[in-house]
């Protein structure tokens, strides 16, 4: 979540319009045009760094998902054994042994039943979390493999452009469209994760 927020924040700070503005001779004389281009390139690099952090966070989430799957499998394996033990203990208690002998066993049976119910609830919650993480990771892969490279291509074309003002305006428009698509996808993922 924090990594997605950082990328969205960095995208919001990017100002391609400042690079595309027609610079007067005074701006060129004072270096304001170079400063705008340099700030733009630094912003692109910052967004790239934030995407790398998001990639690491996605890798951590994938490892967590795999661990949850393993734990879910362990709980599934324990389920029939616990149920069999609960049933056998109930049957033993129903045979009617002496009260002194059964009180401790009844407490242990209650503990086992509580543990069994807790395991089932935990397993269900982990399965929901695994599904949720899988959905988020699928969306992240779309962002990583499609939206971010398109945005990056447009950003670099604006940063490296030595074109006419009309062409630069067209490149900036394409960048802004790619940027809004990328930011919207990240926001959707962030909202889905909450």
pLDDT at 177: 75
**Is the model's pLDDT at 191 over the cut of 60?**
yes
Measured distance between the N- and C-terminal CA atoms of the chain, rounded to whole angstroms: 8
Q: Which tokens go with 44?
A: 């692109």
Please choose, from the candidates 48, 10, 16, 58, the residue with its C-alpha nearest in 3D space to the C-alpha of residue 149: 48
Could you give the CA distance from residue 172 to residue 159 in angstroms, rounded to a whole number?
A: 10
Question: CATH code at 12?
Answer: 1.10.287
Could you give the CA distance from residue 88 to residue 81 in angstroms, rounded to a whole number?
A: 10
Task: Name the residue with higher pLDDT: 9 or 25.
Answer: 9
Residue 63 binned pLDDT confidence (cut-offs 50, 70, 90): very high
Could you give the CA distance from residue 177 to residue 55 in angstroms, rounded to a whole number?
A: 23
Could you give the CA distance from residue 102 to residue 108 in angstroms, rounded to a whole number?
A: 10
**Is the model's pLDDT at 116 over the cut of 80?**
yes
**Mean pLDDT of the 22-28 span:** 60
User: Domain span at residue 39?
Assistant: 2-193
Q: How many domains does the chain have?
A: 1
**Mean pLDDT of the 152-179 span:** 70
pLDDT at 80: 95
pLDDT at 17: 64
Q: By percentage, how much of the chain surpasses pLDDT 90?
A: 31
Task: Name the residue with higher pLDDT: 68 or 15.
Answer: 68
**Is the model's pLDDT at 6 over the cut of 90?**
no
Residue 48 binned pLDDT confidence (cut-offs 50, 70, 90): confident
pLDDT at 75: 94
């Amino acid at each position: 979540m924090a990594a997605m927020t950082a990328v969205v924040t960095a995208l919001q700070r990017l100002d391609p319009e400042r690079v595309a503005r027609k610079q007067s001779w005074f701006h060129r004389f004072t270096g304001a045009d170079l400063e705008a281009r340099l700030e733009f390139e630094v912003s692109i690099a910052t967004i790239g760094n934030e995407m790398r952090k998001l990639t690491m966070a996605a890798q951590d989430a994938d490892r967590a998902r795999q661990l949850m799957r393993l734990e879910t499998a362990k709980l599934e394996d324990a389920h029939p054994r616990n149920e069999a033990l609960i049933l056998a203990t109930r049957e033993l208690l129903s045979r009617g042994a002496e009260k002194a002998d059964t009180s401790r066993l009844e407490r242990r049976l209650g503990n086992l039943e509580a543990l069994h119910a807790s395991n089932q609830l935990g397993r269900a919650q982990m399965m929901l979390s695994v599904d949720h993480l899988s959905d988020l990771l699928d969306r992240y892969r779309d962002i990583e493999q499609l939206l971010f490279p398109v945005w990056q291509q447009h950003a670099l074309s604006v940063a490296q452009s030595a074109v006419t003002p009309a062409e630069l305006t067209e490149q900036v428009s394409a960048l802004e469209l790619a940027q809004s698509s990328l930011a919207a996808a990240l926001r959707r993922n962030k909202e889905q994760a909450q």
